[in-house]
Structures are given as C-alpha cells and as structure tokens.
Structure 1
C-alpha cells in the first residue's frame, strides 16, 4: 500500500504517484463513520484499500462511493460488499448497469497485466442510489456527494468535504495530463466537451482550497482553472478550423500539434485526438 498523504484531520489520500490507470483514493473520517472515495481497478487493487480503510476506521461504519463508473475507479467495489455501504448517483448506477460490461471487456483488451487485474470482476451494484445530491453525516463532519451531469461520463460525481475545503473530482480533473475523453462511437459517446466546460466553471465558482484530481498530484483551485482553459482552447481551435472548412483529419493533426506545443510535459497525448473528435461532433449543437 502506498504511503498515505494527509490533507487534514481524518482526511487522507492514497496517491496514485502518476501510475497509469491508478486513481487517487480518498479516505474521509468522522466521529461515527468513514467514507472511501474510489476503489482502484479490480479486487487485487481494492483489497489493500479495504484493509487500509478498515484500520483507519477502527470499528467505525464504512461507506464507499465512486467518482464515476470506469474500471480503474469503481471495479474493485465487490471487495467492499458486506463491509461498507456503497452509494452513487442514479446516472452512475445506470452507467454501471448498462456500460459496465462493455468497459470491462474493453479494459481487458488493453493488455495481459490489466486483464489480470480485472480477473474475477463483478460489475458493481450500489446499495444506495441518490438522484442529484446527497449529504453523508459521518458524525461531526458532513461530506457532500453531487452528480454534476454529463461531462467526462454520464454519471460523474464530485465529493466535497466543506470543513476541510477539499473537493474530489474524479476524472473531471487531472494533474499534468490531457483531459481523458472516452469518445468511442458508436459504443460510447457519453462524454461531452461542451458540458464539461460548464461543469468545471461551476466547480471554480465554489473556490475549493484543495482539489484531489482523478490522477496526478493534489493541488489547489488552479487545477480547475487549468482544465477549463485547456478545454476552452481545444474547443475554440477545433471549431475555428471546422468553420474554415478543413477536413477532420487535418483538424485533428493541427490541434494535436498545437496542444502538445503548449503543454509538452503533459501525459496522455492520445486523448487529444478523441477530444477533438468529440468537439467536432458537438460543433453543430
């Protein structure tokens, strides 16, 4: 288990240390209960998370939530069955039910090591499903779960700890990485660049002191601003070229080159092409 990063009293992150397909995992404690945010990919990765959370809880009640349904964030939830109450928003529950099996097969196809991590995975089924927002009272500390609406996925959720000024964003935000656009027509076109911009602008207005991204280092509100600015430029450069009548392949190539020139140190360059494709599809509204 990776050494935890303490953010505040009874609030820690198990950091991903920029490892591929490993999310940041949150552990949030109150007087009576503890909430785990995200599980890691598959039972093998989730088991040490549960072990850490159980030790952290010291007999307190356990809850689990996931920021969205993708395998690296949610497909270890079965390990928590019988140990924690699993709660998510309705859109995410529907993602798990209707898209989970397809994503499981897609991730298994990414290579033998990933397939091994997903061995024995059962598609998670939440215990509690809320509509748009849910406040979880851990005892002397409230944690707010909120569905953001369609952006990175249909069922994105942010988790905020108001007394610690901390926001867990899942893959709405990454540090040092191009935004992950799972645009895979015709299998999955839930991601929306235009809606994503609006969601992040709303999060900026909340002015969190600390942001825990889906992947990468914990930071401040500047992480939200970086994502918003990147998405704005990506949209504008894509749409400007579409308005000029350039063919799609040329638009993708030119925008990719521009984005890499601006952010040469960012990881995940493969997501630029899918992001451009998404914005091209959204160009006509």
Structure 2
C-alpha cells in the first residue's frame, strides 16, 4: 500500500509568533507553516500573503489588532498557491494585488492547485468550507508598482523566476525591509514543484542587492539583521543547487525519476533533513528538477491525480 504524503500526517497545531521586523512591520510565523507579512502605514494596513483559509487569516487579523486598529486596505499575494491565497476573503481588503503572471496562473492552474494542496495539507485546510472560491486580484502589475499607505511608500516588484514564474516581493524602503514570499526560506525546505531552478539563484542575488536589514521569508523565523538575512539567502541557494544538480546529472545520463530521487536525497539529507516540510517537498522538488533538466521549461500542472501517480512511482 502506498504511503501517504509526509504532510498528511502533520495534524498538530503550530505555535504562532508575531515579530516586529521594522517600524510598523511584522512577520506572522508558525513553526514552518506559511508566513504572512503585515505593513502598518499612516492610515491603513497592507497584508502580504493571505493564508490558506479564512480561519487561519483570522489568526493574522487578531495579531494585527494587537498593534493597530487601522483598516486593512491592501492584500499582496506574492504568487498563486492555494495555501497562500484562499484566506483572502477574511481581510475585506479594498485591493488584492498580484503580478500579471501570477494572476494568469490563477486562471491556468489555480483550481488544480487548490485540489492538489487540499489533499497534501489537510491541517491547513481545516475550515475550508468558508472559502468562497478562487482568489483573483483586483489589481495587477507588470514589473513594478508602488502603493502609498498615507506617506509610507511600498514597492512591489518581480525580481525574477524562482518559486514560481510570477513571484513578487514587497520592499519597504523607509526601513529597508523585504517580504519575499517563498523565494527565500529559513530552516524550511523550499517547495520547488512549480519552480525554476536555473533562474532561482540570480533572483536571490537580485534580492541580496537591496541589502535588506530584515526579511519576512515564506516559511521559517523572521530574519532580523544583515547576518541572518545573508545566512538565509545562502542556505536557500544551497538548497536549490543541491536539489537540481544531482537530478540533472541523472537526467543527463537517461536515468529514471526514482534514481534522481535517490541521488537528490543522498545530497540533501545530510544538510536539510531536519528542515520543516523537507520530506513533503522532496518528491515534488525532484520531479520538477528532473523535468527542467530534460528541457521542460514550464512546470507541468500538479493535480491530485498527478500527485498520487508520482508518489506511487517513487514508492515502487
């Protein structure tokens, strides 16, 4: 009998932290679960990442209300994944912002991703009955845009392909703080199933060029101070290269997906086995690395059926 995904057995509630990473800037983290950023402006609040359900979003809102009673007017979604966007309705934001590419990916693969992630992460989707449907933006941008929360200027831009083809980051120049979504992780595995391994290191370098004093990563603890930021950028790049290299070598000699899985595990286990969601991400990461190494530039759409098929192939 095929084993369940590693995440399917992870049903314990996580401890929430709400950390100030700059003046009026906060990171909502939960022991390796998806993070959310909070930006308090002069007259309103911007949220970065919505969480998987309205139930989880209300935990973020409770934290916001512990520091301000200003209205939540803007919600930035750095990419299209279900665990990041389907809690959007809880915030009542006037504007929901995505890159053009991320918005297109909602239409192309958003429903399939929702169904896939629902089976992978049952705990995160408790209370899923409240989700009104796919989350679509009210505003999109190409390249870069600015939003003003009173006098506080927020820059939103796409630094390059990485976790997905449409990744955006949020930069707060007055405090030199960045919200990176899943381009950067800290002591959490990168999910690369929809990623672009060849581009990811250059995208990390583009982020590093801003010399952030703090980062709210996609998963893991808030990164405060230039030394901690540098460590996280370096470990994220190491994770990407350590995953892609072995899989690419197996693909180049005509080896199988299962052989690639073993090669990646041999390289990554000694360094990353204790990272959050490592076991869960590994098969999806290897499948995507194997595809990219064979010239498949656009990640194939994950469906619940494809998830099970891939997982069964690796268990044979």
TM-score (normalizing by structure 1):
0.85
1:89 matched to 2:99? The reply is yes
Q: Which residue of 2 aligns with 1:34?
A: 45
1:98 counterpart residue number: 108
What SS class does the counterpart of residue 97 from structure 1 fall into?
helix
* Corresponding residue number in structure 2 for 1:210: 214
Of 102, 116, 129, 2:126 maps to 116
Q: How many residues are treated as equivalent by the alignment?
A: 274
Verify: 1:179 aligned to 2:190, yes or no: yes
Aligned equivalents of 1:195 and 1:201: distance in 2? 10
Q: Give CA-to-partner distance per residue, 1:154-202, whole Å, 9 cap, x none.
A: 32111111222211111112111221122xxxxxxx4221122221222
SS in 2 for 1:281: helix
CA distance in 2 between counterparts of 1:95 and 1:224 reads 26
Shift of 1:3: 4.9
- TM-score, reference length from structure 2: 0.78
Q: Which runs of 5+ in 2 are unaligned?
A: 1-14, 224-228, 296-316
State the Cα distance separating 1:206 from its structure 2 match.
Answer: 2.3
Deviation larger for 236-245 or 259-268:
236-245
8 Å CA contact retained: 1:209, 1:221: no
The reply on whether 1:9 has 2:26 as its aligned counterpart is: no
The root-mean-square deviation of aligned C-alpha atoms, in Å, is: 2.4
Instruction: Give 4+ residue runs of structure 1 displaced > 6 Å after superposition.
Output: none
Q: Which has the higher contact order (CA 8 A, sep 6+)?
A: 2
| 2:150 pairs with 1:139 | yes
Corresponding position of 2:12: none
* Unpaired stretches in structure 1, ≥5 consecutive residues: 183-189
Q: Which moved more, 1:43-52 or 1:116-125?
A: 43-52
Three-state SS of the structure 1 residue aligned to 2:30 is: coil
Mapped pair 1:283 → 2:297: no
TM-superposition CA deviations, 1:192-225 (whole Å, max 9, x none): 2112222122222222121211110122132112
Contact 1:212–1:218 (CA<8 Å) still a contact in 2? yes
**Distance in 1 between the 2:107 and 2:173 partners?**
31
